[in-house]
Structure 1
Amino acid sequence: MSTKKLYISSLLGALLVHSLMVELAICSSNFTDQLALLSFKSSINFDPNNVLSNWTQETNFCGWAGVSCSRRRQRVTGLILRGMGLQGTISSHVGNLSILQVLDLRNNSFHGHLTDEVGRLHRLTSLMLMDNTLEGGIPMGLHRCRMLRAVSLAGNNFSGSIPKELSTLPFLRYLVLPENNLTGTIPPSFGNATSLEVIALEQNNIHRRIPTELGQLPNLPRISLSFNYLTGSIISCNF
């Protein structure tokens, strides 16, 4: 065999091995997504409308109710199960859905703590969990979800303080946390969150003075702080 043919043969072999490795990695990721979804289902103890009845290993998870997938790689990008009457906890395995962009479980009966593993969802843009009965603190690890644009945890039983780390999210536009049991103060660092358009914190137990830094936000047409124990006012420099 000539040197040229040997080179071409070796190159084709290397490309084949690389292609097989890529396929194996994709298959492994898909299997991880499937297991994460099945673990999520196993944490549901009441499904009055049998919404999750087609969540079985015999069917492609991209066709399961409430699941959206990317077209090319068939990976889970959305888990949207709003208003389904589901009762249970949010499985920590949801953190294994590594390219998830939207987690929308609003208006159900999820209880327990919001798992810290949600901080592993580095591509998450929208976290919508309002109108459940979740409790405990807001995970500080949420600040690792650098793509987050909207966080709504309204109408739950979250307690503790608002993590100041949320103010470092570069694209955060909506922070909606009313009707919880939050305490502590409003971190002044939110005055540096220049992408914020909505801050809703009403009906909590937040106290002390409203940070003057909030008046420096350039894109904040709506801020709602009523029914807390706050003093002071917001003086905007942008109008």
Structure 2
Amino acid sequence: MERSYMKSLLAVLVLVLAVQSCIVSQAFSFSNLTDQSALLAFKTAVKYDPNNVLGNWTTRTNFCNWAGVSCSRHRQRVTALQLPSMGLGGTISPHIGNLSFLMKLDLGNNSFHGFLIQNLTRLLRLVDLSLYDNLLEGEIPTSIQQCQKLQGMHLSNNRLVGRIPDELNTLPLLRVLYLGGNNLTGTLPPSFGNLSNFERFYIDHNNVYGNIPNEIGHLKKLKAIDFDETISPGRFHQQF
């Protein structure tokens, strides 16, 4: 009786483990499909690819082997999308926001137009955002504050307008911020003095005016700051 009971219990355990394994497998498959769909949506929004960079972006191959795509080894989730200086043109699909494991997005020095990615709330692992030297317009989305691991934001030489969001001061790890060569307006937020890891800040060739807040001058790690003549250093030089 005892031997029969143990066999039955063992059979139940094997069945439970098999079901759990199947559920996990299906979850990973669904997650991977989400990443693949997001990348294909990105490709669809690219209307100009003179060098056929995205030529191997097809469902016949694993998306982790697609040009410019890097994945985590175990989970096979997209961790980086790097396609700088590829001559690409079009818009940046909002589905990029579905790449929830993305750490690095570099689409710099291309011809992307339209608005910045609004759906940033799911990019909680994003460390580096590089969209410099494009034709992007609109305002810097305040949802960027959701990217709490962001260390570098490179948005220079676009057509961005509006103010520099105060919300950037809530990014505790932000080290470099390149905003030069846009059409930004307003004044520099004093709240930037909260960015204790701030090292480099470029705001030249914009329509920003006023004084450099004294709070920025107290940042101990700040190594470089570039601004227009419309911005007065005030007491900044005495503190820097």
C-alpha distance in 2 between matches for 1:223 and 1:27: 46
Offset at residue 230 of structure 1 (A): 4.0
For the Cα contact (< 8 Å) 1:202–1:228, is it kept in 2? no
Other-structure match for 1:60: 62
Alignment partner, residue 184 of structure 2: 182
Q: CA deviation at 1:235?
A: 4.4
CA contact (8 A) 2:212 2:231 kept: no
**Number of paired residues?**
238
Structure 1 residues 106-138: Cα deviation after superposition (integer angstroms, max 9, x where no partner): 000000101211332111100000000100000
Q: Is the 8 A contact 2:150 2:171 kept in 1?
A: yes
1:95 to 89, 94, 97: 97
Contact 1:33 1:97 in 2 (8 A): yes
Distance 1:82 1:227, change over 3 A: farther
Match of 2:168 in 1: 166
Which ranges of 4 or more aligned residues in structure 1 deviate by more than 6 Å?
A: none
Distance apart, 1:233 and its partner CA: 4.0
2:221 pairs, out of 219, 222, 225, with: 219
Partner of 2:129: 127
2:204 aligned partner: 202
Question: Is the 1:185–1:206 Cα contact (8 Å) retained in structure 2?
Answer: yes
Shift of 1:184: 1.0
Question: Which consecutive unaligned segments of at least 5 residues does structure 2 have?
Answer: none
Q: Aligned runs of 1:1-239 on 2, under 5 Å? A: 2-230=4-232, 232-235=234-237, 237=239
Aligned counterparts of 1:231 and 1:102: Cα–Cα separation in 2? 33
The answer to which of 222-231 and 136-145 deviates more is 222-231
Q: Is the 8 A contact 1:203 1:227 kept in 2?
A: no
Q: CA RMSD in A?
A: 1.5
Normalising by structure 1, report the TM-score. Answer: 0.95
Question: How far off its partner does 1:231 sit?
Answer: 5.6
Helix, strand or coil for the counterpart of 2:55?
A: helix
Q: Which runs of 5+ in 1 are unaligned?
A: none
**What displacement does 1:227 show?**
4.1
> What percent identity do the matched residue pairs reach?
52
